[in-house]
A and B are shown apart, each in its own frame.
Chain A
C-alpha cells in the first residue's frame, strides 16, 4: 500500500518551548522528516559577559523556569570551581534536596499534566477535574510536594533566592524539614496511584527500539544527580573537564537547533539514559516500580523515558527522606539569616555538571581577576537530545508509514513528548523560516 502524508509545522503542544515536526511522505516514500526548533534566541552566554560572579547564577536561572534551580546550581558549581570555593557537606545536601524537589515537580508535571491526558484521551489536564478527580488530586499533591521541597530549601520554587556562591543566604527551619519529612513518608500511596494510572502506559507505548549512546553523570556512591563524572554507554567514564569533546555541537541544514554527537550520529540524555547507566544504584522502592513496568537496563525504546521518569519519582522521594533525616540528625550549623559567603574572586575557568530533569547540563565560565565573566558556555540537555529525536523519527517513520496521517502525527508527537524537551532552555539554536500554522 502506498499513500501520501503531509504533516507540516504545527507546534507540538504540551512541551516546554516551541518545536515543530515537518513530515512529507509521497507515494509511501519518506521525503522529508524534520524536527525543528523555533524558539527565539536570548543570548544568555553574551548577557553574562561582564557580570559579577555574585550574580551569574541569578542571570542563568532565567534560562528556564522549570529547571531554574538546576541552572542555578550548575552555575554556582562552575563559579566555585573557577575560584576554588569549598561548599560544606550541609550545604551540598541542601542543594541536592532543592534539585530533587525541582526534578520531582518537573517529572510529575510531565507525567501528570502533559503525558497523562494522552492516555485518557483528553487534550489537557483540565477536563480531568471532572473525569478523573481523584487521580488529578494525586498528581497535584505530588507536584506540590516537589515544589514545596524546593521552596522550603531555597525560599521560592521558581527562580530560587537563597542559593549563593559558597552556600546559602538563609537556612530552612528544622520544623519545616520535619513537616516535609512527614509528607514524604506519607507520599507512597500517591506514588502507587500514579504508577497505577500510568500502568496502561506500558501497553500503549509504541513498540519501537533504536539503540543509541546513553550519556549521563555517574557517581561511585549514589544514583548521580548533583555530583559526578560523565559516563557514556559506549565509551565509559569521561572527566567533566572534557565535556566539550562529548557534546560536539554541530549545525544541520534542516533544523533551527544545533545538534550534538559523541561516538555515534546522536546520543540520548535524560531519565532513560540515567536509568540505563546507573539503575543498580536506585532506591529499592524505585526498583520495585521498574520491575513492575518490566524496565530492565539497557532499554532501547525512547518512549520508555516516561516510565524511567516515574521510577525516578520514587527514587527522588526515597532519597529526599534519607537526606532530610541526615540533615536533622546532624543539626544545622548556625548562620545569619542574611549570610553572604566570603569569596575572594580569582581569575580562572570552572565547569559545573549536574543531572537535571531532562539530562546532563553543563555550565562553564571564564572569570577575570575582578570576578567578572569574560566567557560563558551552557550546554543544555534538550539540545543534546535533538539529534536523537531526529534519528528516531527517521528510523520510526518508514515502519509506520502505512498508517493514516493522524496516527503518524500522534505517534511522532508522543515520541517528542517522551523526551520531555524543554526548548525554552535552548541556548544554542539557529533561525529558519517558519512554516505551517502558528500559534
Chain B
C-alpha cells in the first residue's frame, strides 16, 4: 500500500481548468443512470481524462458548486427537490436531464392519474397525513430550463459517452428522433406484432438498439414518445391487433403519462 497522505497525480488535476467541470445530481429516481455511468467500468477512467468530475455523491465524498455541466438524474417530487434544482440551474452553464424520470417524469408519473389521497393512503396508511410530497411526479424541465435530455430507463451507456463527447467539443448531443422500429429492423428482430404481442416501438424514441425486443420481449416505451408521434394512427394499429381502449391507455400510461398530459395541455386541456 502506498502512503495515503502522499500527493497524487489526481490532486494535481483538481486545479486543472482545461477540462470542463462536471457534476452529477440525483433526485427522485432509482439512480440507475448514474449506475450506468459507473458501469462504464474502465471507460469511466477515460472519461475523467476529458472531464473533471467535481460532484458525484453516489461515488465520491468531495463536492463543489463550481461546475459547468450538471447531469441531473430523477424527477421532482418535493419542494425541497425544487429548491435544490433551482440552485443547480444557477450554478451550471449546461443542465442535462439524465434518464427518463428527469427528462419526462418517466415511470414516476405512473401515479399521476391516481387520486393523491388514495396514493398516500395505499403506501403510508394511517401515517399518510404527514406526507408532504407534490401530488404528481414532475420532470425537471417543469421547474428549470433544461439544455439537453438523455432519455432511457436506464440510459444507454454508449449514448451517454457520445453525448459527453459532443458537449466537451462544444457540439449538441445527438439524440434520435426516429422510432425504435428503425433500429429493431437493423437488429433483425421478429416484429412483436407478428408474434402476437403489442409493442410501443413504432412511436417510441430510438437510440437503444431495440434492446428489449432484442432480449425477446417488446418495447415498453421507456425512452418516451418521438417528437411528433402519430398517436391516433398508432392507436388504430393497436385496435386492429385487438386491444381495447382501456388496454391501449394502460400501455401508454407506463412511461408516458406526463408527455401525453403535456400534449393534452398544449391542445387546450388541463393537466
Contact = CB atoms under 8 A, between A and B. Distances in A.
B153 A62 contact: yes
A49 B122 contact: yes
Contacts of A52: 250
Given A40-B78, A41-B77, A431-B78, A49 B10 contact: no
A339 B110 CA distance: 27
A238 B11 CA distance: 53
B110 A47 contact: yes
A121 interface: yes
Contacts of A323: none
B171 interface: no
B153 A159 contact: yes
Contacts of B110: 47, 59
Contacts of B53: 126
Interface in A10-34: 11, 13-18
B266 interface: no
Interface string A83-95: 0000000000000
A272 interface: no
Interface stretch (B123-131, B175-183, B224-232, B233-241): B123-131
- Range of interface residues on chain B? 35 or more
A312 interface: no
A45 B122 contact: yes
B243 to A, nearest CB: 12
B123 to A, nearest CB: 5
Given A338-B216, A439-B55, A63 B30 contact: yes
A174 interface: no
A233 interface: no
Given A58-B220, A65-B30, A439-B55, A155 B8 contact: no
B168 interface: no
Contacts of A16: 31, 58
A400 interface: no
Contacts of A124: 56, 59-62
Contact of B190 (A50, A62, A338): A338
B271 interface: no
A439 B28 CA distance: 14
Interface string B125-154: 001001111000100000000000000011
B30 A131 contact: no
Contacts of B48: 126, 129
Query: Main SS of chain A's interface residues?
Result: loop
Interface string A103-145: 0000001000110010011111111011110000100100110
Interface in B177-221: 190, 192, 195, 197, 211-212, 214-217, 220
Nearest to B218: A338
A122 B212 CA distance: 39
A162 interface: yes
A124 B25 CA distance: 16
Interface in A258-310: 258
A227 interface: no
A168 B215 CA distance: 10
A55 interface: yes
A39 B5 CA distance: 34
B78 A424 contact: no
B162 interface: no
Contacts of B56: 124
A159 B154 contact: yes
Nearest to A162: B215
A129 B44 CA distance: 10
A359 to B, nearest CB: 18
Contacts of A336: 216
Contacts of A51: 250
A235 interface: no
Contacts of A157: 39
Contacts of B130: 430-431
Interface string A338-373: 111000000000000000000000000000000000
Given A13-B60, A14-B59, A65-B30, A156 B215 contact: yes
B123 A375 contact: no
Nearest to B126: A251
Contact of B57 (A13, A129, A154, A251): A13
B36 to A, nearest CB: 6
Contacts of B77: 40-42
Contacts of B27: 40
A315 interface: no
Contacts of B4: 120-122
Most buried by B among A15, A140, A158: A158
Interface in A138-171: 140, 143-144, 147, 154-159, 161-162, 164, 168-170
A40 B133 contact: yes
B254 interface: yes
B94 to A, nearest CB: 19
Contacts of A49: 114, 122
A173 to B, nearest CB: 13
A155 B216 CA distance: 9
A46 B118 CA distance: 8
A438 interface: yes
B36 A158 contact: yes
Contacts of B122: 43, 45-46, 49, 375
A14 B24 CA distance: 13
Nearest to B80: A434
A155 B132 contact: no
Given A40-B78, A126-B53, A131-B2, A155 B211 contact: yes
A386 interface: no
B42 interface: yes
A161 B123 contact: no
A340 to B, nearest CB: 7
18 contacts: A11-B57, A16-B58, A38-B80, A41-B77, A41-B123, A42-B77, A42-B137, A43-B123, A58-B220, A68-B32, A117-B60, A126-B10, A137-B42, A147-B39, A158-B32, A162-B215, A162-B216, A169-B215
Given A123-B61, A124-B60, A132-B2, 5 more contacts: A59-B254, A125-B60, A159-B153, A161-B212, A251-B127
Closest 10 CB pairs of A and B: A65-B32, A121-B4, A124-B60, A169-B216, A155-B215, A127-B10, A170-B216, A161-B215, A40-B77, A130-B9
